[in-house]
Structure 1
Amino acid sequence: MVREEKCMSHLYKIESYSEEAVSSIAQFIRSKGGRCCIAGFAVITSHPFQEREAWRLLPLVGKVTDNVTDWDTSLFYRKGDN
């Protein structure tokens, strides 16, 4: 439970404009060893991006928010992959 609480505070949501864009974002996160899950046109993750990585995905991003709901959190811990 302590590990989950620590990760919860770092969850955020990357919103995009299409399924293809969301898939590309999730694939990138997974390729870097990050954990994420897709929720509609958003990716919920705790992956810490490096500045040199962010430029690749910036055109796909509509909005980034740390306003993660209980539903988002539960989905991440239920369906998020390693």
Structure 2
Amino acid sequence: MEEDEKRGNHFSEDPFTRMMFGSKAMDTNKENQPDQNSSNDYEELMNSIDQLVESAKGLKPYFQKFYPMIEQLWKKK
């Protein structure tokens, strides 16, 4: 038995373990996926950041109008 484990031959997993934790074959596939999607994720992240910056620039005039009102509320407390 010890020789089989050293060679990488493991006993098959029981159904409960596969249901709760997934099979080892699924784990190896998941390890390869981040390499393929990493460039897509980076592009999506940069696009999202760009959209947030543009939105903040568009909302800046509104913040400037409402900031004095908010300051008055803070002073009253």
Q: Give the structure-2-normalised TM-score.
A: 0.21
The structure richer in strand per residue is: 1
The structure richer in helix per residue is: 2
Q: Which has the higher contact order (CA 8 A, sep 6+)?
A: 1
Q: Which has the larger radius of gyration?
A: 2
